[in-house]
């Protein structure tokens, strides 16, 4: 048998043996392929995601069930203040999802014959997802939560001006309290928003569901008021009443401070009451005062337009201003009338004293009689009697014209002390002292010689005390008389009786030893008593005839009544 070179007699047999094996493999592969085709016609390819979720190898029904289960498992956590927390289920909020494509629709988009490619490249499907909720359910659920019940909520509180903090040494602001009061409608809106966006939780604070304090501790207006308050605490006002001091410090001031939540003020009514008490304790204006006269009598006199009088309205305003500006000051209160010194003896030790019974004017300096002179005061007989009292010089001026209803008189020195009553020279008079004032006195002023008026004019200023009194109905002298020294003088009458008088020395004592001593309109020679000159008689000293119309006390001078000016 002839064969081809290189061939094996058994080669054909070998090929025949391999063919069935290959065929089996091909058939098996075909079967497997078509089996997979059948499988993937009812299942999703490997590496298949739908809406971001892996559904590989699942049937559409299984995928739909899984997707529904995932939707139903959705919960939302509601977080509030003070660790308040609630978890709401999908049923609580009526959570429902719908899709633009069902799982079966998506499965139908696969070509089962192309399943082998799915092992090398994935498929991602994004159907449109529509989420809805049931607002009635949300409202019902929210209303049932404990921390959303009204009785469990705490209202917010504004920051406010607090009291004085001893540790801080200052007034402080009490900070705001946030509270836990929720706005139900805002909570419902927050939950709905969370559900529709499929968020896992919502923070009610972040969403602005809580009622907020209107005023916080950093409020500019509040801090401005705080700064004002702390000025109050620094104020210290010391009132000076001579040697007495009355201090108004914070211990007193804080009782007058009215504090509301957002403002502060000083209570004017309480400050005014304090100032009025100061006035009750220290005012002397218009009060009666005991006075020791030159001859040693203690008399009680009414106050005229003199003495201390606190201007309570103006002082209350100034005290409030001092407090609000935090002033530290030592001062007198504001006054509408002044004395020389504070206290019961507000005239001090330097003043003018007018004994209207004796018609004497004394200038007292440091409780010593430095000067005295005669005067003529208001005419008693026609109702122009000069009033008693303690007064102060209103002002002083030279060359004044004093006018009345029926007169106009020029004076060189004018020192009013009681409205239109004052001290002044009366150059139209030739005599002063005695009892002239009873019938031919002034209209109420204190008439002086030009020299005396000039002397006093140089001594007085505005407010200088002037004391006017009569000795009638006054109690007898009970203390030593005031004088410029400790000298005494002895007077003796014609019968040999003597009387010792304190406070007369120097020129005064010389007058006593003169042969003639004019006293209260009388002319007295040494060792004798003599009556006042009478019209038609001879002046015992000058020897001059006294005319019918001569004024009392003007012995030896012929002056008619028409010429005698009794004006001021």
Instruction: Write out the DSSP string of 254-318.
Output: GGGEEE-SS-EEE-HHHHHHHHHHHHHHH--TT--EEEE-TTS-EEEE-B-S-S-EE-HHHHHHH
Residue-range domain boundaries for the chain:
48-147, 222-337, 351-469
Check residues 115 and 545 and name the one with the higher pLDDT.
115
pLDDT-derived band at 487 (thresholds 50, 70, 90) equals very low
Q: Label residues 476-505 b or e (16+ Cβ within 10 Å = b).
A: ebeeebbbbeeeebeeeeeeeeeeebbbbb
Q: Classify the C-alpha dihedral 365-368-370-373 as positive or negative.
A: positive
Element (H, E) at 235: none
Q: Is residue 495 over pLDDT 60?
A: no
Element (H, E) at 236: strand 236-241
3-state secondary structure of 28: helix
What pLDDT sits at residue 527? 31
What CA–CA distance (Å, rounded) separates 426 from 436?
13
Q: Is residue 143 over pLDDT 70?
A: yes
The DSSP letter of residue 493 is -
3-state secondary structure of 460: coil
Q: Are 409 and 565 in contact (CB under 8 A)?
A: yes
Q: Is residue 520 over pLDDT 50?
A: no
CB atoms within 10 A of CB 147: 17
What pLDDT sits at residue 98? 73
Q: Is residue 127 over pLDDT 90?
A: no
3-state secondary structure of 538: strand
The string of pLDDT tens digits covering residues 204-260 is: 999 999 999 999 999 999 999 888 888 998 999 999 999 999 999 998 998 999 988
Tokens matching residue 212: 């907020």
3-state secondary structure of 437: helix
pTM for the model stands at 0.59
User: In this predicted structure, which of 66-70, 80-84, 445-449 has the lowest mean pLDDT?
Assistant: 66-70
Tokens matching residue 532: 């006042």
What pLDDT sits at residue 514? 32
Q: Is residue 564 over pLDDT 70?
A: no
Tokens matching residue 484: 């410029």
- Strands (DSSP E) contained in 15-168 are 48-50, 53-54, 75-79, 85-89, 96-99, 123-125, 129-132, 160-165
> 517 has which bridge partners?
524
What pLDDT sits at residue 372? 98
What pLDDT sits at residue 524? 33
Check residues 31 and 287 and name the one with the higher pLDDT.
287
CB atoms within 10 A of CB 540: 16
Phi, psi of 411 (to 5 degrees): -130, 150
Tell me the range of 93-97, 209-213, 555-559 where mean pLDDT is highest. Answer: 209-213
Cβ-proximal residues to 472 (8 Å cutoff; 6+ apart), any chain: 357
User: Is 351-469 the same fold as 222-337?
Assistant: no
CB atoms within 10 A of CB 406: 7
What CA–CA distance (Å, rounded) separates 134 from 90?
10
3-state secondary structure of 52: coil
Check residues 405 and 338 and name the one with the higher pLDDT.
338
Tokens matching residue 43: 């299942």
Tokens matching residue 120: 């090398």
What CA–CA distance (Å, rounded) separates 454 from 100?
122
CATH topology of domain 351-469: L,D-transpeptidase catalytic domain-like (2.40.440)
Across the range 349-369, mean pLDDT stands at: 98
User: In this predicted structure, which of 39-53, 148-162, 506-520 has the lowest mean pLDDT?
Assistant: 506-520
Q: Are 386 and 436 in contact (CB under 8 A)?
A: no
CA distances 141 to 161, 185, 198, 363, Å, are: 41, 13, 18, 101
pLDDT-derived band at 565 (thresholds 50, 70, 90) equals very low
Across the range 287-312, mean pLDDT stands at: 92
CB atoms within 10 A of CB 396: 22
What CA–CA distance (Å, rounded) separates 238 from 445?
41
The string of pLDDT tens digits covering residues 378-398 is: 999 999 999 999 999 999 999
> 329 has which bridge partners?
237
The string of pLDDT tens digits covering residues 152-196 is: 999 999 999 888 888 888 889 999 999 999 999 999 999 999 988
Q: Label residues 93-132 b or e (16+ Cβ within 10 Å = b).
A: bbbebebebebeebbeebebeebeebeeeebebebeeeee
> Is domain 222-337 given the CATH code 3.10.20.800 in the classification?
yes
Tokens matching residue 147: 């921390």
């Amino acid at each position: 048998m002839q064969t081809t070179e290189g061939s094996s007699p058994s080669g054909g047999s070998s090929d025949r043996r391999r063919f069935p094996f290959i065929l089996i493999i091909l058939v098996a592969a075909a079967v497997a392929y078509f089996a997979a085709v059948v499988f993937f016609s009812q299942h999703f390819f490997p590496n298949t995601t739908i809406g971001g979720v892996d559904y590989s190898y699942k049937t559409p029904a299984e995928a739909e069930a899984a997707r529904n289960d995932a939707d139903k498992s959705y919960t939302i956590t509601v977080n509030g203040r003070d660790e308040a927390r609630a978890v709401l289920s999908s049923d609580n909020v009526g959570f429902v999802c719908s899709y633009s494509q069902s799982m079966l629709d998506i499965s139908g988009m696969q070509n089962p014959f192309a399943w082998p490619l799915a092992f090398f490249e994935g498929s991602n499907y994004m159907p449109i997802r529509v989420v809805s909720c049931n607002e009635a359910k949300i409202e019902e659920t929210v209303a049932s939560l404990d921390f959303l019940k009204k009785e469990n909520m705490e209202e917010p509180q504004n920051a406010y001006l607090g009291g004085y903090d001893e540790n801080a040494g200052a007034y402080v602001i009490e900070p705001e309290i946030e509270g836990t009061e929720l706005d139900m409608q805002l909570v419902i809106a927050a939950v709905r928003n969370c559900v529709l966006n499929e968020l896992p939780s919502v923070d009610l604070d972040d969403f602005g569901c809580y009622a907020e304090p209107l005023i916080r501790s950093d409020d500019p207006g509040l801090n401005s008021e705080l700064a004002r308050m702390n000025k109050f605490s620094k104020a210290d006002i010391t009132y000076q009443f001579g040697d007495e001091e009355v201090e108004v410090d914070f211990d007193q001031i804080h009782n007058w401070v009215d504090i509301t939540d957002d403002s502060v003020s000083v209570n004017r009514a309480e400050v005014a009451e304090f100032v009025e008490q100061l006035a009750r304790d220290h005012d002397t204006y218009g009060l009666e005062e005991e006075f020791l006269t030159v001859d040693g009598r203690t008399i009680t006199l009414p106050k005229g337009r003199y003495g201390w009088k606190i201007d309570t309205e103006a002082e209350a305003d100034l005290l409030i201003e001092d407090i609000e500006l935090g002033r530290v000051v030592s001062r007198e209160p504001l006054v509408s009338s002044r004395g020389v010194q504070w206290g019961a003896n507000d005239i001090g030790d330097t003043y003018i004293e007018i004994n209207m019974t004796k018609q004497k004017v004394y200038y007292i300096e440091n409780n010593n009689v430095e000067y005295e002179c005669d005067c003529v005061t208001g005419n008693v007989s026609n109702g122009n009697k000069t009033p008693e009292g303690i007064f102060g010089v209103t002002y002083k001026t030279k060359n004044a014209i004093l006018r009345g209803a029926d007169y106009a008189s020029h004076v060189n020195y004018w020192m009013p002390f009681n409205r239109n009553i004052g001290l002044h020279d009366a150059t139209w008079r030739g005599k002063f002292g005695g009892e002239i004032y009873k019938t031919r006195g002034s209209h109420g002023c204190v008439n002086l010689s030009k020299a005396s008026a000039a002397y006093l004019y140089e001594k007085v200023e505005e407010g200088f005390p002037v004391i006017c009194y009569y000795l009638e109905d006054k109690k007898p002298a009970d203390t030593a008389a005031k004088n410029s020294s400790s000298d005494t003088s002895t007077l003796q009458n014609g019968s040999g009786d003597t009387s010792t008088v304190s406070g007369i020395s120097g020129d005064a004592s010389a007058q006593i030893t003169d042969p003639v001593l004019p006293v209260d309109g009388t002319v007295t020679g040494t060792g004798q008593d003599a009556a006042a000159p009478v019209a038609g008689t001879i002046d015992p000293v000058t020897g001059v005839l006294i005319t019918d119309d001569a004024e009392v006390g003007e012995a030896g001078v012929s002056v008619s009544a028409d010429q005698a000016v009794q004006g001021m």
